[in-house]
Amino acid sequence: GDEGKDYFWITDMHPFMIMHPYRKDLNNTDLTGFTDPHGKKLFVEFVNTVRKSRAGYVEYMWQWKDDSARIVPKLSYVEEFAPWKWIIGTGIYIEDVRAEINRLTTWLIRISGVITLLMAILLLIIMRQGLSSEQRRRQAEERLRESKERYLALVEANTDGLILAIDGVCAYANRRVLAMTGYGPDEIVSQNLDALLFAKENDTPFPINAPSPAEARLKKKKEGFVDIVCTATDISFSGKKGRALLIRDISVEQHAVQRRMIEEREQFIAELQAAQLFLSQPVKDIAAPVRHCPMATPVREAAELMSQDRSGAVLVTSTSNDFIGIVTDADLRARCVARKKEATIPVFEIMSSPLVTISDNALVYEAMLLMQHHGINHLAVKDARGKIVQTVSHREVLQVHRYSSTFLVREISAAETVQEMAGNRDRLPMLIKALLDSGANARTLTRIVSQVSDTVVHKVLDLAIEELGVPPCAFAFVVLGSEGREEQTLATDQDNAIIYEENATETARSYFLKLGETVCTSLNRVGFNTCPGEIMASNLKWCQPLSQWKSYFSQWINTANPQDLIDVNVFFDFRFVYGDIRLPAGLHEHIDSECGNKAAFFMHLAKNALAIKPPLGIFGALRLDLKGEHPETFDIKKAMMPLVDFARIQSLRKKISQTNTPNRLEEFTRAGGIDDSRLKEVLQAYDFLMHVRFKHQIALIEAHEAPDNNISPAALTAIELALLKKIFSQFEDLQTKLSFEFTGTAG
């Protein structure tokens, strides 16, 4: 509150008030029967919440600050402090929250009003200038016609939509509005605005006299709406008063925000599932071998044994070799060092006994609860015959946080050497396996792999720049291929490049080439193999200024033949990772400009894509490689290329900025390329293939073999084989669509 009375109160699990700084009358009292004015036993509710969830929120009625006569709603958060079996709680008055929300709302309304007023003034100035110019040009009919043509050309060139309305009826709409709605030029004229524009929240007509700008929905000719921001301005049109509506499509932005929220939620859920999987595995999977010494062993030797094994405890055996106790780090400190005993005394004098044991088939969370119950940090683990075969400590039990990509990324970011990064990245397969076993979808898995890769690239670049000095000019490090599409798996190599500013000096050119060499070498040491085709920033050809990169793409788009484009597909998937984002953004704009009306280029891309057929034989059987290094297998990465190529070609044609294949397909669907049902099928196919791919690679890694993409049908179930055949048949349908669209034949 305003008085700054931020405090905590403490009860035990009875509940019994241990400490309340402002209700001292409750201190040292039994709160079992304590109720609020509505009869709610709030302190009992606190205990129940903690017992059920270890922490949570409870709402109840409480006096308003120091005014005992005023009772208001209050929300408290309580959490268990397990070592002392305390409940620690704090709370907030709901009225305080509402007051703060009201204050912020009022401030936002005022700011919005000022912004709206400024925009309205700006639009009014623009419109008045336009009207004044129009009146001056009316002196001659020829000048009026020329003015009209120029005005229409300007409106049509505008990237935003424009509707001119007279008396609530559409008198004109530019091409952008026609593209958004699906109406023809003659169809939209005379349409009532109440049938075109609707409020954002419901199906009521959008009030065109509402303050501008405002969010609304524009109805399509067929089913559906387009989310827009509408800015309305009063105008005089042919002597009549009307409204000019400037319309900006924000559906893509909203979809991007929504997609990002969904992806973050799915990743969070996947990490929680992985943590749950860890807690539900048998103790024997994480326990360590038994370390023991005879009961007469001097304390010094026991400590040396613990130090050698990097263990926090050692079991003690009797003269008959039975385990009779345990000596831990805590025992050494409390019973030997603190009491100033000699290090030569036998360990049985300071050991803890009897041993607390647990079955090797017990689950990790059961071990955690048993440790908490006894207030200890180590357990002896028994096998089915009752023999002690392992030990487990709280350190192993509390490794659940290591099943988090967030933790892994943080450790990589904090690494000070390439060796540290390599060690951290080596845990990635274990994390992916846990997520795979917990049911995470493929997009979550590839996003986590790419997130880890991007973090490694960031850190490697930071270390390289620290070694080489500050870059002489702006640059951008981009990744290509599967990494650019954020579709990396556990079997991947490097594909990257450097873009730097125009007019760089020879010194700058040498610097960036050295930077590329340093980064690629470090990435190889971390675990990212070098590219066999040398498509890396360490290659002078792919470490160039922006002008040269524009020249590369212009050549590929305008003059290349199909064979030339086979080796450069990966460059059309480039994604910014580090540096100045304006450089790759400028390159994206150049590519969009160059791709316009380039039928030959798209035909070449399509022919190359059609040359890679799904591994499906004439009679529906899988087509396998019969020779080579991996006979009787098929390359699942190559099998997915028809889908990847389809998404790339359509995104280039539609000027879709996404690089990720599922994201490209979603944007292509919103642009009317395929229907929602086909999209759902294709995304399910993508998810299944990536799951098979990750599952295969994890199996190889667990067998201490290098991960690859060569799948043996013998390793798949009958259901998986049937799904693969169905999916590859779908890919053939996509290729047929691609062939008809770009080559005019069935493929």
Per mean pLDDT, which range of 133-137, 162-166, 413-417, 466-470 is the poorest? 133-137
Q: Which of 399, 422, 457 is the endpoint of a domain?
A: 399
Euclidean distance between CA atoms 191 and 189, whole angstroms: 5
Between 353 and 212, the higher pLDDT residue:
353
In a domain, 254, yes or no: no
pLDDT given at position 717: 92
Rounded-to-integer distance, Cα 357 and Cα 743, Å: 72
Using the predicted structure, report yes or no on whether residue 655 has a pLDDT greater than 70: yes
Mean pLDDT of 114-119: 91
Q: Is it the case that residue 2 has pLDDT exceeding 80?
A: no
241: Cα within 13 Å, side-chain hemisphere: 3
Do 236 and 124 fall into the same domain? Answer: no
- The mean pLDDT value for 693-706 works out to 92
Least confident of 155-164, 366-375, 467-476: 155-164
**What distance in Å separates the CA atoms of residue 512 and residue 473, rounded to the nearest whole number?**
10
- Work out the pLDDT band at 469, boundaries 50, 70, 90: very high
Above 70 in pLDDT, residue 149? no
DSSP-derived secondary structure letter, 346: B
Q: What percent of the chain has pLDDT over 70?
A: 90
Burial class (CB in 10 A: 0-12, 13-18, 19+), 458: middle
Helix (H) or strand (E) holding 548: helix 546-558
* Residue 465 sits in the same domain as residue 575: yes
- Only one residue has tokens 């795979």, namely 436
Question: Residue 441 belongs to a domain with what CATH number?
Answer: 3.30.460.10
Instruction: Determine the pLDDT at residue 220.
Output: 84
C-alpha–C-alpha distance, residues 313 and 124, integer Å: 80
Of 574, 589, 604, the domain-final residue: 589
Q: Which amino acid is at 576?
A: F
Q: Which of 91-105, 251-265, 285-299, 308-322 has the lowest mean pLDDT?
A: 251-265
Residues 454 and 582 in one domain: yes
Interaxial angle between packed helices 661-670 and 676-702, expressed in degrees from 0 to 180 and rounded to the nearest 10: 180
Mode of pairing for the β-strands spanning 313-317 and 292-294: parallel
pLDDT in tens, 86-100: 999 998 888 888 888
Together in a domain, 224 and 130: no
Question: Does residue 275 form part of some domain?
Answer: no
395 and 411 inside one domain: no
Tell me the three state secondary structure of residue 729. helix
Identify the band that residue 549 occupies on the pLDDT scale cut at 50, 70 and 90.
Answer: very high
Of the segments 380-394, 409-423, 635-649, which one has the largest average pLDDT value? 635-649
Residue-wise DSSP of 648-695: HHHHHHTT----SHHHHHHHHHHTTSS-HHHHHHHHHHHHHHHHHHHH
Considering the domain architecture, whether residues 627 and 513 belong to the same structural domain is answered as: no
User: Is the pLDDT score of 180 beyond 90?
Assistant: no
Domain limits for position 209: 138-249
CA angle 322, 324, 329 (to 5 degrees): 125
Residue 568 lies in a domain: yes
Let me know if residue 469 belongs to a domain.
yes
**How, if at all, do strands 357-359 and 378-382 pair?**
parallel
Q: What is the pLDDT of residues 66-82, one digit of tens each?
A: 677 788 898 899 999 98
Q: Report d(CA 151, CA 156) in Å as an integer.
A: 9
Q: 143 with 131, same domain?
A: no
In percent, how much of the chain has pLDDT > 90?
Answer: 39
Could you tell me the pLDDT band of residue 152, with boundaries at 50, 70 and 90? low
pLDDT exceeds cutoff 60 at 600: yes
Mean pLDDT of 385-403: 78
d(Cα 475, Cα 582) in Å, to the nearest integer?
9
User: Tell me, what CATH number does 608's domain have?
Assistant: 1.20.120
Residue 277, domain member (yes or no): no
137 vs 746, which has greater pLDDT?
A: 137
Overall residue count recorded for the chain in this entry: 747
Domain boundary among 118, 135, 152: 135
**Residue 338's pLDDT is what?**
86
Q: Please indicate, yes or no, whether residues 462 and 339 belong to a single structural domain of this protein.
A: no
Mean of the per-residue pLDDT values of the chain: 85
Q: With beta carbons less than 8 A apart as the criterion, state whether 617 and 577 touch.
A: no
DSSP state of 349: G
* Residue 184: per-residue pLDDT: 82
Least confident of 116-120, 253-257, 341-345, 743-747: 253-257
Same domain, 192 and 293: no
Q: What is the pLDDT confidence band of residue 202, given thresholds at 50, 70 and 90? A: confident
Lowest mean pLDDT among 142-146, 233-237, 551-555, 670-674: 142-146
Which tops the pLDDT comparison, 443 or 440?
Answer: 443
Contact (Cβ atoms closer than 8 angstroms) between residue 536 and residue 515? no
The predicted model gives 601-622 an average pLDDT of 87
Strands (E), 250-356: 288-289, 292-294, 313-317, 323-328
Q: What is the mean pLDDT of residues 299-319?
A: 88
Nearest to 662 by CA among 639, 689, 634: 689
Q: Based on the domain organization, do 650 and 625 belong to the same domain?
A: yes
Q: Determine the Cα–Cα distance for residues 52 and 79; give it in Å rounded to an integer.
A: 11
pLDDT over 80 (residue 83): yes
Identify which has the larger pLDDT, 535 or 100.
Answer: 535
Question: Looking at per-residue confidence, does 580 or 213 come out higher?
Answer: 580
How distant, in Å, are the alpha carbons of 241, 316, 703 from that of 293? Answer: 98, 5, 35
Per-residue pLDDT, 263: 60
Residue 67 is part of a domain; what is its CATH number? 3.30.450.20
Q: Name the domain count of the chain.
A: 5
Same-domain check for residues 539 and 600? no
Higher pLDDT, 745 or 470: 470
Whether 182 is in a domain gets the answer yes
pLDDT digits (tens, 9 = 90+) for 474-528: 999 999 999 999 999 998 889 999 999 988 889 999 999 999 999 999 999 999 9
Has residue 316 got a pLDDT over 80? Answer: yes
Q: Residue 672, by phi and psi: left (phi above 0), alpha (psi -120 to 50) or beta? A: left
- Distance, in Å, from the CA atom of 347 to the CA atom of 302, rounded to the nearest integer, reads 7
- Mean pLDDT comparison of 189-198, 240-249, 488-497, highest-scoring range: 488-497
In this prediction, residue 254 has a pLDDT band, given cuts at 50, 70 and 90, of low
Is 607 within a domain? yes
The predicted model gives 392-414 an average pLDDT of 75
Q: Does one domain contain both 529 and 551?
A: yes
Residue 316's φ and ψ, nearest 5 degrees, are -115, 130
Look at residues 458, 460, 453 and name the one whose alpha carbon lies nearest to residue 521.
460
Q: At what angle do helices 428-437 and 676-702 cross, to 10 degrees?
A: 130
Euclidean distance between CA atoms 190 and 165, whole angstroms = 9
Phi-psi region of 486 (alpha: psi -120 to 50; beta: other; left: phi over 0): left
Residue 261, in any domain of the structure: no
Distance CA 271, CA 279 (A): 13
Q: How would residue 145 be classed by pLDDT, with cut points 50, 70 and 90?
A: low
State residue 543's pLDDT score.
96
- Collapsing DSSP to helix, strand or coil, 443 comes out as helix
Q: Which of 272-281, 413-422, 476-485 has the lowest mean pLDDT?
A: 272-281
Predicted pLDDT at 147: 57
Kindly tell me if the per-residue pLDDT of 626 is higher than 90: no
Strand partners, 578: 477
- Does pLDDT of 409 surpass 70? yes
Alpha-carbon distance of 157 to 103, in angstroms, equals: 43
Q: What is the pLDDT of residue 692?
A: 95
User: How confident is the model at residue 484, as a pLDDT?
Assistant: 94
Quick one: 422 exposed, middle or buried, by C-beta within 10 A (0-12, 13-18, 19+)?
middle
The CATH number assigned to the domain holding 300 equals 3.10.580.10
H-helix or E-strand spanning residue 99:
helix 94-137
